[in-house]
C-alpha cells in the first residue's frame, strides 16, 4: 500500500538520463506539478523580481540605475526602526491571538453544540470579512473615541463618570479593532476543519470517562492544531501588513508600526521612494517566510492530524443542556462586537446628511440620498458588475489552483513541493501597496495587452490571495487520511479520477471556506486594484476608497451595507450548494 | 431706447465676432476628437463629484466621453510616470497639485498647449509651462460652532497656541502629510523666520491630534470629536451644506497649494484632450466647480463661502525631495519626540 502512495508523485529525477525524465512525465501528477509550479512561479516571481530589483537599485523602476545596498542601510540602520518592530510584533500577536480565540469559541458554539440560533450565528460571523476594514475601524472610532464616542457617552451618562472609560487611540484599542476585523478569516478556517473532524476519537474519550469540557480541551482543540496555527499565522502576517486600522487609530495614538513607518518614509513621502518601500517589503517578506517555515514544522506530522478517515461519520453534537442559552449569549455578545455595533453605526452614518452624535433633531434630518446615489449612479452599477465578476470567477479560479497546490505540497513526495508553497507566500508577504507597485511595473509592459482590463486585476488578486485559499484547503487536506486515496488507487482509479471523486468532495468544506474568504475579499479589495484598474474596469474597492477620500462617508456606508447584503446572499448560496451536494 | 438697442446689437455682434473663431476651432477639434474614438482619459486628484458635474456638461456639449481615474497626487504621479516610462501612457490629461505637476513636467510628460481659455486667468496665476493654476486649495482654521462658541473661537493663527485650546486641536501629521509639511515650512512667509520657528514649537507643545490628511481633520471637527482643525477652508462650506455647524477663522492671509492640468505629450486622444482643457478652463466649468466650494482662479469667480472674496491667498513654498526629507526630520523631532 505504501509503495502505491509513494508512486503518487515521484521525486524529480536527479540522474539516469532521458528515460527517467520520460518516466517522470508519464505520471499525470507530475505533469500537474509542472503546470501548477510554472503558473505559480510566474505569478509570484515576476512582480517580486521587480520589487527585489527595486530594493537593490538607486533609481525608480523603469529608469536604468546602479546596484546599491544604500536602501538597506537607510532602512535598517535607523535606531527608531527597532522599537517599532517590537510594537508591530505585539500588535500582530495580540490581534491574531484575539481573532483565533474569538473564532475558536464561536466556531465551537456554532458547529459542535446545540446552542439555539447557531446556524444564523455561523452565517453572520462572516459578515465583517465583507465590510472594508476601513469602515469597521471608523465605526469603532465613532463608538469608542474618548471625547464623543457613543459607548463612552452612554457610560458617562449612565454612571455619572467624569470621562469615558475607553480610549480607542491606544495599543489595546488597535489590537481590539484589528482582532475583530481578522476574526472571520480565522473563523472560516477553523470552522471548516471542525466540520470535517471524525468524532470517533471524541467518542472514545467519552467512553473512557471524560466529560464534555475534558473532551474539548484534550481531544477537540489539540486536533484542531493545524487549523488554529494556519489561522494564527495568516492573521499575524495580515495584521503586521495592514495599514487601514493603524492609519486611523495608531496615528492619533502616536504609535508607530511597520506599515505606518513604510508610509511615512517611502510610499507616503514626496516624491515616493519606491526603492525604500521595496526594501521594507523585503524585511516583511523575511518575517513572513519565517512564519511559513514554522507553520510547516508544526504541521509536519501530517498523519497525526488525520481525522477524516474512510469510516462514515457525522460530527458529534454536544448537548449543552441549560448551558446552551449561555453559549448562544456568548456568541451573540461576540457578534454584537464584530457585526451588530459596526453595522448599526454604518446604518446611522448612511442615513445622516453628515455624521454627528445623534440628538432629537437628528431624526428630522434623516436622508435616503446616499442609497439613492447607490441605485441611480451608473458608475456604482458598473463597479458592482466588475466586482461580482472578479469575486465569482476570480475566487473559483484561485480555489482551483489552491486545491491543486495544496494537494501537491501536502500529499506528494515531489522534491520541490516545499519550494512551491514558499513561492505562493512571496507576493502575499509584501505589503499590499508595495506588491501593487510591483504588479503595475510588471504588467504595464507585458506583451499580452491585459494592462488596464479586468484580467490584470484578476491576476493580481489570484497572486496576492492564493495563500488564503491554500491555508483554508490545506487544513482540511491534512485531516483526510491517506487510506481513502490508497483505496481508490488500488481499485484502479487514476490520478484525475481519485482527485475528482475522492479528494475534492472530502476537501469541500475547506474549498468552500476558501472560496467564501476569497470572494468576499475580492468584493472589497482596493490596494492592488487602485494601481491596476483603468476607468472602465473600476471595481468597488477603488470606488469606496475615492468616496472615502472625498469625505462621502454616507455613500461609503450605504455601498458597504449593500455589499454586505449581496455577499451574505452569495455565501448563503455557496453554503447551500455545498450542502446540497453532500445530500 | 434706440441708443440702448444699438449698443446691444453692437455688443452682440462683438460677442459673435469674438466667439466665432473659438467656436470654429472647437468644432474642428471636436470632429478630430471624435475620429480618435470620442473619449478623453484623465488621471487626476480633483474630487470625483466635481469631475462628475463637469464631465456630464462636457459630454452633453461635445459628445465626447470622459473617463476619469482618481487618485491622491502621489498615486497619480506614480501611475502616470510608470506608464510613461514603460512607453504606454493611458492618459490624455493629468490634473493635480503644483509640486507633482512640476516634477512630471521635468520628466517630459506634458506637451505644450496654449488653451484659448487661459486668457481669462490673471497673469500671476499662469505658469509658463503648465498654463493656468485653475484652483487654489486654501488651508485655514475651521471650528465646530456647537463645540466652541464663535466668541470663544480663535481669531488668529497665534491664538491657536493659547493653552485654553490644548487638546482641542486636530491637524494632519506634518511629518507624513506633504501639503502640511509645506504649510508648516511656509509659516515664515506669514510671520517671519524667527517668529515662525517659535510658533511651530508652541504649536507642537499643544499636542494636537495628528491625523493622516486634511480631510480626516475636517471630519473630526464636523462630528464634534475635536472642536478646532487646521484644514482646507472649503470644508467649512462643504460640510456646512450638509448641516454641520462649521465656520472658519477669518485670517486675512491664508496659505495654500495650486492645481494645474496638462496635456500628455503621448496622449492617445490628443484632440479630445485639447477640447477638454479648453472647456475645463472656461467660464461654465469653473463656475460649476466654484459652486461646489472650490477657489478657482478665474477673475471674479468665488465659492459661496462667506467672505471668500476677502481671503488673500499666499502660495506655499515648493519643496524638493531633499527639502521634504529635511523638514520631515526636523518636524519629527518637534512634533513626535
The ipTM (two decimal places) reads: 0.74
Q: Is A546 on the interface with B (CB under 8 A)?
A: yes
- Residue ranges of chain B with pLDDT lower than 50? 1-2, 5, 8-24
State whether residue B82 sits within 8 Å of chain A by CB.
Answer: yes
* Cβ distance of A268 and B242 shorter than 8 Å: no
**Is A354's CB within 8 Å of B244's CB?**
yes
CA atoms within 13 A on the CB side of A474: 26
Task: Show Cβ contacts of residue B197 under 8 Å, excluding neighbours closer than 6 positions.
Answer: B188
From chain B, the residues in CB contact with A457 under 8 A are none
Residue B229, strand partner residues: B142, B170
Q: Tell whether B266 is within 8 A of chain A (Cβ).
A: no
Q: Which residues pair with B36 in a beta bridge?
A: none
Q: Nearest 5 degrees, angle CA A339-CA A428-CA A430? A: 110
B211 touches chain A (CB under 8 A): yes
B223·A355 Cβ contact <8 A: yes
Q: Is A251 in the B-facing interface, judged by CB distances under 8 Å?
A: yes
Interface mutation vs chain A, best among B69, B95, B327, most A CBs within 10 Å? B69
CA distance A479 to chain B (A): 45
Choose from A434, A541, A551, A555 for mutation: most chain B CBs within 10 A.
Answer: A551
Q: In whole angstroms, give the CA distance from residue B106 to residue B108.
A: 5
Task: Say which of B83, B177, B224 has its CB closest to residue A356.
Answer: B224
Residues 321-360 of chain A with CB under 8 A from chain B are 353-357
Widest pairwise Cα distance in chain A = 85
Mapping DSSP to helix (H, G, I), strand (E, B) and coil, where does residue B144 land? strand
Helix A417-429, helix A454-479: angle, nearest 10: 130
For chain A, 583 residues long, give each residue's pLDDT as a single digit of tens. 344 443 444 444 455 566 666 666 667 777 888 888 888 888 888 887 877 888 888 877 667 788 999 999 988 887 877 888 889 889 999 999 999 999 999 998 888 888 888 888 887 787 777 787 878 888 898 899 888 788 998 898 888 888 889 999 999 999 999 999 999 888 888 887 787 776 777 777 778 777 777 777 777 777 788 788 888 888 888 888 787 788 888 888 888 888 787 777 777 676 777 788 888 877 777 777 777 676 666 655 444 444 554 444 556 677 777 888 888 889 899 889 988 899 999 899 899 888 777 777 778 778 899 999 999 888 899 999 999 999 999 999 999 999 888 888 877 777 777 778 778 877 776 666 667 767 777 777 777 777 778 888 898 899 888 888 887 787 777 777 777 777 777 787 777 777 777 777 878 878 888 888 898 888 888 777 876 787 778 888 888 877 876 778 889 889 988 888 888 787 778 777 766 444 4
Determine contact, residues B314/B165, Cβ cutoff 8 Å.
no
Residue A174, C-alpha cell as written in the block:
488597535
d(CA A2, CA A482): 10
- CA closest to B210 among chain A residues: A252
How many Cβ contacts (< 8 angstroms) between chains A and B? 124
pTM: 0.78
Among A565, A559, A553, A540, smallest CA distance to A248 is for A553
Instruction: Assess B108–A contact: CB distance below 8 Å, yes or no.
Output: no
Percentage with pLDDT > 90 across chain A? 14
* A308 DSSP β-pair partners: A480
> pLDDT tens across A358-373, in order?
777 778 778 899 999 9
Query: Is some CB atom of chain A closer than 8 A to the CB atom of B176?
Result: yes
The pLDDT tens digits for A368-387 are 999 999 998 888 999 999 99
Residues of B in contact with A247 (CB under 8 A): 212
Q: Is B48 on the interface with A (CB under 8 A)?
A: yes
* Adjacent-strand bridge partners of B66: B40
Asked whether the beta carbons of residue A354 and residue B222 sit closer than 8 angstroms, the reply is yes
Amino acid at each position: 500500500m505504501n509503495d502505491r502512495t509513494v508512486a503518487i508523485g515521484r521525486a524529480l529525477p536527479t540522474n539516469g538520463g532521458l528515460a527517467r525524465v520520460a518516466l517522470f512525465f508519464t505520471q499525470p501528477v507530475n505533469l500537474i506539478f509542472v503546470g501548477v509550479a510554472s503558473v505559480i512561479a510566474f505569478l509570484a516571481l515576476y512582480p517580486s523580481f521587480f520589487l527585489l530589483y527595486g530594493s537593490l537599485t538607486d533609481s525608480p523602476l523603469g529608469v536604468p540605475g546602479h546596484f546599491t545596498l544604500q536602501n538597506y542601510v537607510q532602512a535598517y540602520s535607523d535606531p527608531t526602526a527597532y522599537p517599532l518592530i517590537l510594537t508591530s510584533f505585539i500588535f500582530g500577536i495580540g490581534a491574531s491571538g484575539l481573532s483565533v480565540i474569538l473564532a475558536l469559541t464561536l466556531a465551537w458554539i456554532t458547529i459542535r453544540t446545540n446552542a439555539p440560533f447557531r446556524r444564523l450565528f455561523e452565517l453572520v460571523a462572516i459578515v465583517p470579512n465583507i465590510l472594508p476594514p476601513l469602515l469597521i475601524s471608523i465605526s469603532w472610532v465613532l463608538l469608542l473615541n474618548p471625547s464623543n464616542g457613543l459607548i463612552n457617552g452612554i457610560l458617562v451618562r449612565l454612571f455619572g463618570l467624569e470621562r469615558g472609560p475607553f480610549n480607542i487611540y491606544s495599543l489595546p484599542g488597535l489590537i481590539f479593532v484589528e482582532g475583530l476585523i481578522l476574526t472571520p478569516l480565522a473563523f472560516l478556517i477553523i470552522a471548516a476543519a471542525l466540520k470535517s473532524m471524525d468524532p470517533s476519537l471524541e467518542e472514545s474519550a467519552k467512553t473512557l470517562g471524560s466529560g464534555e469540557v475534558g473532551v474539548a480541551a484534550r481531544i477537540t482543540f489539540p486536533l484542531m492544531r493545524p487549523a488554529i496555527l494556519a489561522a494564527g499565522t495568516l492573521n499575524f502576517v495580515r495584521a503586521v501588513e495592514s495599514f487601514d486600522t493603524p492609519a486611523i487609530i495608531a496615528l492619533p495614538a502616536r504609535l508607530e508600526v511597520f506599515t505606518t513607518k513604510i508610509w511615512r518614509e517611502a510610499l507616503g513621502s514626496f516624491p515616493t521612494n519606491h526603492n525604500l518601500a521595496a526594501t521594507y517589503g523585503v524585511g516583511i517578506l523575511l518575517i513572513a517566510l519565517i512564519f511559513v517555515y514554522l507553520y510547516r514544522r508544526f504541521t509536519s506530522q501530517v498523519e497525526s492530524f488525520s481525522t477524516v478517515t474512510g469510516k462514515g461519520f457525522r460530527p458529534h453534537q454536544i448537548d449543552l443542556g441549560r448551558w446552551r442559552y449561555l453559549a448562544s449569549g456568548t456568541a451573540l455578545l461576540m457578534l454584537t462586537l464584530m457585526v451588530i455595533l459596526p453595522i448599526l453605526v454604518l446604518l446611522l452614518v448612511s442615513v445622516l446628511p453628515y455624521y454627528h452624535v445623534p440628538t432629537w433633531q437628528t431624526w428630522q434630518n434623516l436622508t435616503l440620498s446616499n442609497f439613492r446615489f447607490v441605485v441611480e449612479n451608473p458608475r456604482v452599477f458598473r463597479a458592482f458588475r466588475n466586482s461580482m465578476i472578479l469575486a465569482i470567477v476570480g475566487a473559483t479560479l484561485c480555489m482551483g489552483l489552491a486545491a491543486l497546490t495544496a494537494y501537491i505540497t501536502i500529499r506528494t513526495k515531489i522534491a520541490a513541493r516545499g519550494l512551491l508553497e514558499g513561492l505562493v507566500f512571496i507576493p502575499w508577504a509584501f505589503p499590499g501597496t508595495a506588491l501593487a507597485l510591483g504588479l503595475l511595473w510588471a504588467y504595464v509592459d507585458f506583451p499580452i495587452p491585459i494592462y488596464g482590463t479586468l484580467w490584470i486585476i484578476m491576476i493580481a488578486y489570484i497572486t496576492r490571495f492564493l495563500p488564503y485559499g491554500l491555508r483554508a484547503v490545506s487544513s482540511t487536506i491534512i485531516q483526510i487520511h491517506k487510506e481513502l486515496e490508497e483505496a481508490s488507487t488500488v481499485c484502479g482509479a487514476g490520478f484525475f479520477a481519485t482527485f475528482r471523486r475522492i479528494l475534492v468532495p472530502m476537501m469541500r468544506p475547506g474549498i468552500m471556506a476558501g472560496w467564501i474568504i476569497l470572494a468576499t475579499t475580492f468584493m472589497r479589495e482596493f490596494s492592488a486594484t487602485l494601481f491596476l484598474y483603468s476607468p472602465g474596469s473600476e471595481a468597488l474597492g477603488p470606488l469606496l476608497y475615492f468616496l472615502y477620500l472625498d469625505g462621502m462617508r454616507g455613500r461609503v456606508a450605504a455601498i458597504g451595507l449593500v455589499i454586505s447584503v449581496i455577499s451574505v446572499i452569495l455565501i448563503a448560496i455557496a453554503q447551500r450548494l455545498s450542502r446540497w451536494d453532500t445530500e | 431706447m434706440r441708443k440702448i438697442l444699438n449698443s446691444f446689437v453692437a455688443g452682440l455682434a462683438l460677442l459673435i465676432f469674438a466667439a466665432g473663431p473659438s467656436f470654429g476651432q472647437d468644432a474642428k477639434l471636436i470632429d478630430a476628437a471624435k475620429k480618435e474614438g470620442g473619449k478623453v482619459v484623465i488621471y487626476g486628484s480633483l474630487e470625483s463629484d466635481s469631475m462628475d458635474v463637469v464631465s456630464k456638461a462636457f459630454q452633453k456639449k461635445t459628445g465626447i466621453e470622459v473617463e476619469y481615474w482618481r487618485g491622491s497626487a502621489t498615486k497619480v504621479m506614480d501611475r502616470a510616470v510608470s506608464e510613461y516610462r514603460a512607453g504606454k501612457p493611458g492618459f490624455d490629461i493629468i490634473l493635480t497639485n503644483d509640486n507633482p505637476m512640476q516634477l512630471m513636467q521635468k520628466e517630459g510628460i506634458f506637451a505644450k498647449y496654449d488653451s484659448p481659455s487661459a486668457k481669462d486667468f490673471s497673469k500671476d496665476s499662469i505658469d509658463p509651462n503648465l498654463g493656468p493654476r485653475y484652483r487654489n486649495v486654501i488651508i485655514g482654521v475651521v471650528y465646530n460652532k456647537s463645540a466652541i462658541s464663535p466668541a470663544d473661537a480663535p481669531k488668529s493663527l497665534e491664538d491657536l497656541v493659547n493653552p485654553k485650546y490644548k487638546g482641542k486641536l486636530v491637524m494632519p501629521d506634518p511629518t507624513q502629510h506633504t501639503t502640511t509639511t509645506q504649510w508648516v515650512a511656509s509659516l515664515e512667509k506669514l510671520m517671519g523666520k524667527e517668529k515662525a520657528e517659535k510658533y511651530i514649537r508652541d504649536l507642537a507643545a499643544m499636542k494636537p491630534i495628528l491625523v493622516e490628511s486634511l480631510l480626516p481633520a475636517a471630519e473630526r471637527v464636523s462630528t464634534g470629536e475635536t472642536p478646532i482643525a487646521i484644514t482646507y477652508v472649503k470644508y467649512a462650506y462643504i460640510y456646512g451644506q450638509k448641516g454641520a455647524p462649521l465656520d472658519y477663522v477669518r485670517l486675512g492671509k491664508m496659505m495654500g497649494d495650486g492645481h494645474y492640468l496638462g496635456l500628455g505629450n503621448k496622449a492617445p486622444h490628443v484632440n479630445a484632450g485639447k477640447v477638454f482643457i479648453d472647456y475645463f478652463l472656461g467660464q461654465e466649468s469653473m463656475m460649476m466647480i466654484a459652486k461646489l466650494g472650490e477657489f478657482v482662479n478665474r477673475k471674479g469667480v468665488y465659492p459661496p463661502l462667506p467672505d471668500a472674496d476677502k481671503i488673500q491667498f499666499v502660495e506655499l513654498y515648493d519643496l524638493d525631495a531633499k527639502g521634504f526629507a529635511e523638514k520631515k526630520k526636523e518636524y519629527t523631532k518637534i512634533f513626535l519626540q
